[in-house]
Amino acid sequence: MKKNITIVLAIVTVLAVIGYVLTKNKEENKAKTDIVAQNNAAVSVKTTQVKTEAISLDFMANGNFEPIQELTFSAEKSGKVISVLVKEGDYVNVGQTLVIVRSDVINVNAQTAKASYDNAKADYARYENAFKTGGVTKQQLDQAKLALTNAGANLKQANINVGDTRLKAPIKGFINKKYIEPGSILTGMPASAMFDIVNVSKLKLKVTVNETQVASLKTGSPVTVSASVFPDKVFTGKIIFIAAKADESLNFAVEIEIANNTDSNLKAGMYGTANFGSKQTQELKVVPRNAFVGSVNSNQVFVVENGKAKLKKVVAGRILGEQVEIVDGLSDGEAVITTGQINLQDGSLVEIIK
């Protein structure tokens, strides 16, 4: 009996080992089959031929309009606001009175300074006449002259203080925001903000361009500008600033000045497009921008050779809209892959979709 049980256990063990081996072999064969199938499967791609053609050097850049001049007008001295003569939206000129502050003490000081000056002036005249007849010494005359000079300086400062009670616009433009009302208390330290004044008779369109584009730009060159809210209008501007140094993104800031129309339809903050049109063309070897693996900065593209994808290192030049100049690495007539790169490796089989 014991012997029979041992034989049965041995047979079961052998059968289990055989089953495990067969299962393992089946899994390995399936994996090998999948790998072969994967290697033999062609990836569907689209291609375009590399070619040299006449390319326009025109390009566009987007940005926002900014006022040619803007200022937060603040108080220089302390005082209580008696009257505010403008409101938000008003247009003001340089030197126009915007605010009147309390001037009681200041006016009294000015009157006192005027009286002191008149007295010093009369004293100097008497001393001058007396000096001619020997009635006073030269030193006394000089002291009278010094007193007159000091009185004149005090009067001038007092008159300035009187003028400071009528606060005037330092620039022309629109009152974009008002921060004060009659009764407001102004402080000179820290300075109390009174108005935001913006001059939009001219605007600046601020854009950025890359290193290949900035090389063709010059200060003073004319530029056509459009605004997204006025698609049928074209504005003429000129380049007034080109940054001497690139920003962290390796782009250069460019400012274009545009004269606003009489109705000031263009507003600061609107979205605008600058069209840098040189009307020049150049024979360049180009490929579509989407041919690059990842981005243009990768300088890698796939080409089709003998039914397989081949990864090539290229030297990219200027970015011209949706095309990129190829300086080195490709020849005319090569089929560069433009879609499907995400599924490719160097040497992958490919099927070109017409």
Residue type, 117: Y
pLDDT of residue 240: 95
pLDDT of residue 113: 81
Among 189-193, 305-309, 317-321, the minimum mean pLDDT is found in: 317-321
Given a cut of 70, whether residue 154 has pLDDT beyond it is yes
Identify whether the C-beta of residue 334 lies closer than 8 Å to the C-beta of residue 325: no
pLDDT of residue 151: 84
- Distance, in Å, from the CA atom of 228 to the CA atom of 283, rounded to the nearest integer, reads 33
* Gyration radius (Cα) of the chain, Å: 42
Helix-helix angle 138-163:104-132, to 10 degrees: 160
pLDDT of residue 208: 92
- Distance, in Å, from the CA atom of 276 to the CA atom of 57, rounded to the nearest integer, reads 9
pLDDT bin (cut points 50, 70, 90) of residue 219 is: very high
251-299 pLDDT, tens digit each: 999 999 998 866 667 888 899 999 887 667 778 888 988 889 887 778 8
pLDDT of residue 35: 46
Whether the bond between 231 and the residue before it is cis, its omega within 30 degrees of 0, is no
pLDDT of residue 33: 41
Identify whether the C-beta of residue 315 lies closer than 8 Å to the C-beta of residue 298: no
Identify whether the C-beta of residue 350 lies closer than 8 Å to the C-beta of residue 309: yes
Residues 6+ apart with CB under 8 A from 335: 47, 48, 49, 50, 303, 304, 352
Q: Which of 83, 92, 78, 104 is nearest to 181 (CA)?
A: 83
pTM of the model: 0.55
Tell me what percent of the residues of the chain surpass a pLDDT of 70.
83
Average model confidence (pLDDT) for the chain? 83
pLDDT bin (cut points 50, 70, 90) of residue 163 is: low
Strand duo 271-276 + 222-227: pairing:
antiparallel
Given a cut of 80, whether residue 333 has pLDDT beyond it is yes
Residue type, 205: L
Q: Which of 175, 170, 177 is nearest to 75 (CA)?
A: 170
Is 323 exposed, middle or buried, given 0-12, 13-18 or 19+ CB atoms closer than 10 A? Answer: middle
pLDDT of residue 32: 47
The mean pLDDT of 12-26, rounded to a whole number, is 60
